[in-house]
Amino acid sequence: MFLTTEEPRVEFDSMETPRTSAVESVYDPAEDSFLLIDALEIDLDRIRELKPSICLEIGCGSGVVISALAKCVENCTFLATDVNPIAAEAAKFTAQRHLPEQKTCVQTAVADLDSCFLGRLDSKVDLLVCNPPYVPTTETEALPDDATKLAWAGGPQGTDLVKRLLPRASELLSHRGCFYLLLLKENNPSDVCSEARRLGLEGRKVIERRCRNEHLFVYCFSRSDKTVKLA
């Protein structure tokens, strides 16, 4: 649980923040990761009611988010991808440390977005989570010259990955599925919501927080055509 002085501390059926080990070239969990965990914590009852079977995190980094989820959601498979092999390994390690061995069900793969599951998870993902590289960067900055940079450099508006992910999300989500996405104010969350709506996904703001120089949001997207598209 990440504490700030801005908001009153609310006790939820709490999600414990997993410990991670600092590994060079893996994005260390920071305010953004913690805000995402807090958003999931706020929605935890809602998430449990979904009885999710498959949860997928895109760009899991150190694995702090998926491990926190895996600890408090039962009978679900947790899949995580990251383009950085070291991150995929760190995430597996974080999950192993955070969860008892006989319960560990976090599986990681090195892949771009959900490319390694193409055609197999359509309309099957009940819970999709992503803390994307959201920092607006110039084109030259955005050139991936090292693994850590891939974790934060988001292109001109900071939404390069988000733009690629939204159409995938609309394929992946089960009819009641939820997609939790972290956004920065400079990403223009309302633009992202419009784009999502075009793809049949309705966005809802779960939480926002100003952390140092960043104004961060977590949105939850779900199908607006729940009655039409049955998985």
Partner 1 sequence: MKLLTHNMLTSKAIKGVQTGFPLNIVVKKTKTVETEFSSEFIQRMLPKLDWPAFLKAAQTLGVGSQLPDSPPTETTDETVLRSIHHALVEVEVIEGELICPETERKFPISNGIPNMLLNEDEI
Handedness of CA 29, 63, 37, 217 (dihedral sign): positive
Q: Distance between alpha carbon 133 and the CA centroid of its chain, in Å?
A: 11
| Side chain identity, residue 208 | E
Residue of 42, 109, 147, 199 that binds partner 1 (CB under 8 A): 109
Q: How far is the CB of 63 from partner 1 (least distance, A)?
A: 12
Under the criterion CB under 8 A, does residue 49 sit at the interface with partner 1? no
Query: Which pair of tokens denotes residue 25?
Result: 């070239």
Work out the angle between the directed axes of helices 31-42 and 64-72 (0-180°, nearest 10): 20
Toward partner 1, which CB reaches closer, 125 or 193? 125
| CA pair distance 56, 11, nearest whole angstrom | 26
Under the criterion CB under 8 A, does residue 112 sit at the interface with partner 1? yes
Toward partner 1, which CB reaches closer, 26 or 88? 88
Stretch that binds partner 1, among 22-30, 39-47, 104-112, 141-149 (CB under 8 A): 104-112
106: helix, strand or coil = strand
| CA pair distance 178, 189, nearest whole angstrom | 17
Query: Which pair of tokens denotes residue 145?
Result: 């010259």
Toward partner 1, which CB reaches closer, 1 or 83? 83
Toward partner 1, which CB reaches closer, 4 or 115? 115
Stretch that binds partner 1, among 15-23, 108-116, 159-167, 217-225 (CB under 8 A): 108-116
Q: Which residues contact 96 (CB under 8 A, 6 or more apart)?
A: 104
Under the criterion CB under 8 A, does residue 157 sit at the interface with partner 1? no
Number of residues that bind partner 1 (CB under 8 A): 32
Q: How far is the CB of 121 from partner 1 (least distance, A)?
A: 6
Interactions with partner 1, residue window 50-89 (CB under 8 A): 51, 53-54, 74-77, 79, 83, 85, 88-89
Stretch that binds partner 1, among 38-46, 102-110, 131-139, 199-207 (CB under 8 A): 102-110
| CA pair distance 66, 36, nearest whole angstrom | 10
Query: Which pair of tokens denotes residue 103?
Result: 């319960």
Query: Which pair of tokens denotes residue 131?
Result: 């803390």
Residues near partner 1 (CB under 8 A): 51, 53-54, 74-77, 79, 83, 85, 88-89, 92, 101-105, 107-112, 115-121, 124
